[in-house]
Amino acid sequence: MAIFVVLLLLWSCEELINVNLKNGSSIVVIESFITTADNPVIVKITKSQDFFNQSDFSTVKNASVQLECSPVKENLVEKGAGYYFATKTKGVAGKTYSLNITTEGKTFGASVVLPIVVPIDTVYFQPGIFQSDSLNIYVGFHDPAVTENYYRIRLYRNRRYAINDYFLITDAFSDGERIVAPIYYRYFAPGDTVVVELLNLERCTWKYFKGLSESIQQGVNSQAPGNPPTNFTGGALGIFGAWGLSSCRVIVPHQTVKK
């Protein structure tokens, strides 16, 4: 039975955490993700600053950055501008990865289990709910039973990706069922090339994206905007996140049929 999920639709101004959402002393901010895609693991380390002083962001140099998937440990290579690269470690679903960073006498750490890939099985288009001259996209997949799953869907239209797009859902009411996610706020036209990515997120990663989006939405309109949840110990902000990634590429048809 296909289930149309209630959508948790969020926006933000930037995917990377390049803002400090609370006034106060400078805090180390770490952001890194490991996925099942064949991409290098990149760690970005910066320091937070006053929310109303956004002129310059301080990057962290000469940090000791180590990525571990027992029994293998890798020391990451610094590339400048606060970026550190892993050259050997690859993401494997079900494995536990630990990231440890030491800078200025302080150590920060986080661990994640890389989720499995949940395949996309259907992508189709229908006339737009709010713009009848455009097409909405529907993404279908089968949710694994028993386990809690947290998803994000990313869309690329003609090679362009809106980094301020946070389309987040869970299987809270559809565990083990087939899910069809309609995305009403994105519009497509016949002939468009669309890449659909389904991210099966580790729980803390989902909470981070949710919190980041909500905090930036509040912006200066909130008297006390909050920092997104972190999974780092030692007092750092940011996230060491993980997801299993599935994707498919489709050409929007001239007839709105399922693909």
Q: How far apart are the first and last CA of the chain?
A: 18
Per-chain mean pLDDT for the chain = 86
Q: Name the residue with tokens 């959402």.
A: 21
Neighbours of 191 (CB within 10 A): 10
250 token code pair: 């489709």
Please give the full DSSP string across 73-88, using - where no structure is assigned: EEEPEEEETTEEE-SS
Residue 211 lies in a domain: no
- Please return the burial class of 46, using the count of CB atoms within 10 Å of its CB with bins 0-12, 13-18 and 19+: buried
Cis peptide before 71 (omega within 30 of 0): yes
Separation in Å, CA 130 to CA 14, 36, 134, 139, 229: 26, 36, 9, 18, 34
Specify if 256 maps to a domain: no
Name the pLDDT band for 5 (thresholds 50, 70, 90): very low
For the chain, the domain total comes to 2
Shared domain check, 238 and 189: no
Q: What is the pLDDT of residues 245-256, one digit of tens each?
A: 999 999 999 866
Higher model confidence: residue 235 or residue 130? 235
Whether 20 has a pLDDT exceeding 80, the answer reads: no
Residues 111 and 124 in one domain: no
Same domain as 146, residue 23: no
pLDDT, residue 16, reads: 44
Domain encompassing residue 194: 2-10+116-201+245-251
Q: What is the CATH number of the domain that holds 27?
A: 2.60.40
Residues 111 and 23 occupy one common structural domain: yes
Range of 66-80, 157-171, 207-221 with top mean pLDDT: 66-80
pTM summary value: 0.84
Predicted pLDDT at 14? 35
In a domain, 110, yes or no: yes
Query: Is the CA virtual torsion 171, 173, 178, 181 positive or negative?
Result: negative
In this structure, what token pair is assigned to residue 115? 């989720």
pLDDT at 186: 87
pLDDT tier at 50, thresholds 50, 70, 90: low
Is 94 exposed, middle or buried (CB count within 10 Å of its CB: 0-12, 13-18, 19+)? exposed
Q: Taking residues 230-246, what's their average pLDDT?
A: 97
Nearest to 153 by CA among 193, 114, 115, 120: 120
For tokens 């987040």, name the residue. 168
Q: What is the mean pLDDT of residues 151-159?
A: 95
Q: 70: which residues sit within 8 A by CB, 6+ positions away? A: 96
Same domain, 111 and 231: yes
